[in-house]
With several copies, the nearest count.
Chain A
Amino acid sequence: MKLVIAIIQPYKLEEVKEELYKSEINLITVSEVLGHGRQMGVTEVYRGHKETGNLLRKIRLEIAVNENYVEPAIKAIVKGAKTGEAGDGKIFVLDLNECVRIRTEERGPVAIG
């Protein structure tokens, strides 16, 4: 089992979700985070003072998958989030040792999804 963590542009969330559903990946967790980016983002202006914050608003996705779904998940995220510009985001893949479905207390691969 793997835990896929992706940091993407906020406005791409809809498309990424769409792509994941198409690949039959349903178990996702979304949160709002600040991320350091190389890209400049949109300059914000406050009372005439220009602000190009280096911490930008991002969306963080966590997706737990069985091994055979890792590649489809990565493909789906890339397909939904890629624009080719700096700031499209990153995908990290971690080993997942255990997974528990709280309702039934089932464990392991069967508990995912």
Chain B
Amino acid sequence: MINGADTVFILFSTSLVMLMTPGLAFFYGGMVRRKNILSVLMQCFIALCLLSLHWMFFGYSLSFAPGNVFWGGFKWAGLSGVGLEPYAAYSATIPHQAFMIFQMMFAVITPALIIGAFAERMRFSAFLAFILLWATFVYDPICHWVWGEGGWLKSLGVLDFAGGIVVHTSAGIAALVTTIFMGKRKNLEHTPSPHNLPFVVLGTALLWFGWFGFNAGSALAANGLAVNAFVATNAAAAAAGLSWALLEWIRNGKPTVFGMVTGSIAGLATVTPASGFVSVMSAIIIGVSASVLCFIAVSITKPKFKYDDSLDAFGVHGVGGILGTLLTGLFASKAINSAGANGLFYGNYKQFFIQLFAVIVVVIYTFVVTFIIYKLVDVFFRMRVSEKDESMGLDLTQHHERAYTVLE
């Protein structure tokens, strides 16, 4: 039976999650140098176009069709059999296509997150090939394991409400792999400062706004659970933004707006797997720990190991996603979501080890497969732009256009 309110809620949540990809574009775009902003916007936008089609042709089928434990197969390829009737195994009160398109927006933003790692130096054609392969061979299988009917991690009882493993851990690890193998940007002695911080703030605002759809929408119905996820999401983002600002204040003397928005995003990423399983107080603790750990990753670990994760895709999303998945194993409670499980703090230590196991499996799988895809694409398309193109900027060399005019 289709329920009107649930359908409205999912359609609206889908719109919100769609807006997150452009939100991310501005979040990242403001951070790069002026000569590269369009390349980032372009990568995010083309991901929206390309992966929408990928999802309908075969992505949705690979991820969600009732195939075997590892992937969904091609039963629903081209959306055959995915109609306007509900499909009860996923969501009994909304049209099947509504569920499909809601999930599509997740499949779009996940590869877009990786852009932060290789911004300012990747060739556009290589980028297209890379995200298409990555979505097919990394995102779709992992999505099936965790969320798909019959997926083996799902059967194991892994909790991932809105994508801590599927979205943030996988994208974060892929970011780490690409950034290591692609190498540093040129002339990095002076770390480039963000060319347009208001764009970063605008992007954060749109991401925060869209994240309500991401997390609360994952309840797939307009019910109490959705409200819990909504409140927990906001609480974690607020706590994380505030605590990052405090960390900077203590360590560097002044809080920065760039730090605060980074903290908020870390909080949002971290609470994602937990939002439907934990209470609001737990969400605040999750938010604070997100900022602490991501702060360490970004401002201590990164300079120490000297990888050039240009926009901290790994430091924020990878670290946040892994942390959130583990914390879900600590803070989850059946009192919040009876369909979930209790975590370590509620007397079920087993859940924590299930979460840990899932994280390890996904990290290894993502690392290996991303590496293979990277090498393949590098052989056929060459990943990195030439030195001259890099100093001229990707906007001019990859797209023959320029973001701003000088005089008029």
Contacts and interface: CB of A to CB of B under 8 A. Distances in A.
B356 interface: no
A45 B400 contact: yes
Given A11-B392, A11-B393, A42 B407 contact: no
A43 B397 CA distance: 10
Contacts of B391: 11-12, 14
Contacts of A57: 402, 406
A62 B203 CA distance: 37
A34 interface: yes
A11 B388 contact: yes
B79 interface: no
Interface string A40-62: 00111110000000000101000
B354 interface: no
B187 A44 contact: no
A86 B406 CA distance: 22
B396 A44 contact: yes
Given A11-B388, A14-B391, A45 B401 contact: yes
Interface residues of A, number: 16
Contacts of A12: 391
A67 interface: no
B400 A30 contact: no
Contacts of B388: 11
Contact of A43 (B35, B187, B400, B406): B400
Contacts of A45: 400-401
Contacts of B407: 10, 13, 30, 32, 34, 59
Contacts of A33: 406
B400 A42 contact: yes
Contacts of B393: 11
Contacts of B406: 32-34, 57
Interface in A52-111: 57, 59
Contacts of A43: 400
A44 B401 contact: yes
B385 to A, nearest CB: 12
Nearest to A34: B406
Q: Choose among A10, A13, A45, A59 the residue with the greatest number of B CB atoms under 10 Å from its CB.
A: A10
Contacts of A10: 35, 392, 407
Interface in B186-245: 187
Interface string A15-49: 00000000000000010111000000011111000
A45 B392 CA distance: 16
Nearest to A43: B400
B392 A44 contact: no
B115 to A, nearest CB: 22
A14 B407 CA distance: 12
A46 B401 contact: yes
B187 A42 contact: no
A6 to B, nearest CB: 15
Interface string B18-48: 0000000000000000010000000000000
Contacts of A30: 407
Contacts of B187: 14
Interface in B381-402: 388, 391-393, 396-397, 400-402
A45 B395 CA distance: 11
A45 B407 CA distance: 18
Contacts of B400: 42-45
A11 B388 CA distance: 8
Contacts of B35: 10
A32 B400 CA distance: 20
Contacts of B401: 44-46
Interface in B278-318: none
Nearest to A33: B406
B236 to A, nearest CB: 37
Interface in B37-87: none
Given A14-B187, A32-B406, A34-B407, 11 more contacts: A10-B35, A10-B392, A10-B407, A14-B391, A30-B407, A33-B406, A34-B406, A42-B392, A44-B400, A45-B401, A57-B402
29 contacts: A10-B35, A10-B392, A11-B388, A11-B391, A11-B392, A11-B393, A12-B391, A13-B407, A14-B187, A14-B391, A30-B407, A32-B406, A32-B407, A33-B406, A34-B407, A42-B392, A42-B396, A42-B397, A43-B400, A44-B396, A44-B400, A44-B401, A44-B402, A45-B400, A45-B401, A46-B401, A57-B402, A57-B406, A59-B407
Question: A-B pairs with the 9 shortest C-beta distances?
Answer: A11-B391, A11-B392, A45-B400, A42-B396, A14-B187, A44-B401, A44-B400, A34-B406, A32-B407
